[in-house]
Structure 1
Amino acid sequence: MIDYGQFCTVARGAEVFGERWTPLVVRELLCGSTRFNDIRRGLPRMSASLLTQRLRSLEETGVVKRVAGAAGGPAEYHLTGAGEELRPLVMALGEWGARWIGSRLKRGQLDAGFLMWDIRRFVHLDEFPRDRSVHIQFRFTDAHAGERRWWLVVEGGSADLCRDDPGPEPTLVVESTVLALTEIWTGDRDALDAVESRAVRVRGAARDARDLWRWLGRSAFANTREASRAER
């Protein structure tokens, strides 16, 4: 752990929260991930051994508690009261980044897997049709091999993200670059403008295609980013 050698509580707090990857581990826990593999899905470029170290460190400092899984299942990680108090810090950091840094993404910062995982956990389930399942296939034209096809399956009030074809004919097929869909998700680009310019192509029934963006929603910080762009 970082040691600034100062009694100042800013320094002491930064020793816990400022460790590399730690803010993102806390972000994943705040977003509802409790199992090790789910946390890793939100941090695909973090090694399993380093994640183990960070979780252990957070447990030692009282930010996280490890609990046995139900019916012999895998252990779960939950934020303590101290960990939950980090929520406004994480949100404020995200809002600041959306307002003052924005995306300006480099190629190495684009990640189809994290993008799809973020979409999956924040989809607007209450906006999807209640009388049928919806299968949305995403095709990324520029993703790494093995990350070019994704399926978002929404049925029975829950959403699943699949790497393999789940079988039924897709309700919609969305074809895009990783950058274009990321820009829509983060508030850097308007979805309808991206479709009109053919940066994103949506195939399927016209009504479903129109409802797609209402179903998916956007990042928690997209409104801030959009407002920031409008001000400049």
Structure 2
Amino acid sequence: MFDYGEACPISMATSVLCERWTLQIVRELFFGSTRYSEIQKYIPNLSPSLLRDRLRFLEEQGIVLRKRCGSGNRFEYHLTPSGKALAPVLTELGRWGMRYAREGMTDKQNTISGLMRDFAGGINVEELPSGDTVVQFHLTDLKDDPKRYIYIRDGVVQECAQDMGFEVDVYITSTLPTLTRVWYGEIDIHRAIDAGLVKLVAPPVYQNNLRRWLGISSFATDNPRIFAS
């Protein structure tokens, strides 16, 4: 931990939070990751050794609590009250980043796991027909596991990499970069369909209501510059 040597709360906070990858790890804990392997899946550019160091550091700072999972040598990581208090910090940081530092963002690497989790979290169940809905995403630019599924059952949304055998209601075919741009509001989903960047196969009730049930990032909807640019 770097000591700025200043009697300043901003310096004290940044000495804890601004180590490389620290806030990204906290972000994943907010998204529901609790296992070491889950965090690593969503932050593939973070080396295993550095992830261990950062988790240990967050534990020492009282931001993360490590708990043994079952009787084996497996652990889960959970945010403490001081960790949960970072929610508005991350929210405002994301809003600032989208408004003032988003240039070239969607040209950078994204993961299919992270993107599908985002889309699943953005589903507006109230705008879907009653009963179950299954959405299949086919990412044509990915060689390994190019299909992912979002299952909506009894009002609960679940993202899954496996075909559970249920009838698919909505087929969405595109590429990872295109759907990343759609999620962050750089291109409207209907414009992407009209341009042939996204292929949608679904009954009219899903097609006509697409914008209302398939959400985009709240950072995009909060940012008027996205739609003005």
TM tier relative to shorter chain: 0.7 to 0.9
Q: Counterparts of 1:1-232 in structure 2 under 5 Å?
A: 1-69=1-69, 75-102=75-102, 104-105=104-105, 107-131=107-131, 133-143=132-142, 145-225=143-223, 227-232=224-229
Q: Which moved more, 1:95-104 or 1:106-115?
A: 106-115
Percent of matched pairs sharing the same residue: 34
Do the aligned partners of 1:44 and 1:114 also contact (CA within 8 Å) in 2? no
Matching residue's letter, 1:62: G
Judged with a 3 Å threshold, the aligned counterparts in structure 2 of structure 1 residues 214 and 74 are, in CA distance, closer, same or farther, namely: farther
- Structure 1 stretches of 5 or more lacking a match? none
The one-letter code matched in structure 2 to 1:124 is N
Superposed displacement of residue 71, structure 1:
8.3
Q: What is the count of residue pairs matched by the alignment?
A: 229
What's the TM-score once normalised by structure 2's chain length?
A: 0.86
Which runs of 5 or more residues in structure 2 are unaligned? Answer: none
Return the TM-score normalized by structure 1.
Answer: 0.85
Output the CA distance in 2 between the equivalents of 1:53 and 1:130: 47
**Alpha carbon RMSD of aligned pairs, Å?**
2.5
How many Å separate the matches in 2 of 1:38 and 1:223? 28
- Distance change >3 Å, CA 107–CA 41, structure 1 → 2: same
Counterparts of 2:45 and 2:161, CA distance in 1: 18
Separation in structure 2 between the aligned mates of residue 31 and residue 38 of structure 1, nearest angstrom: 11
- Output the CA distance in 1 between the equivalents of 2:136 and 2:55: 34
Q: Deviations over 1:17-46 (max 9, x none)?
A: 101111111112223333334333432332
**Any conservation in 1 of the 2:172–2:198 contact (CA below 8 Å)?**
yes
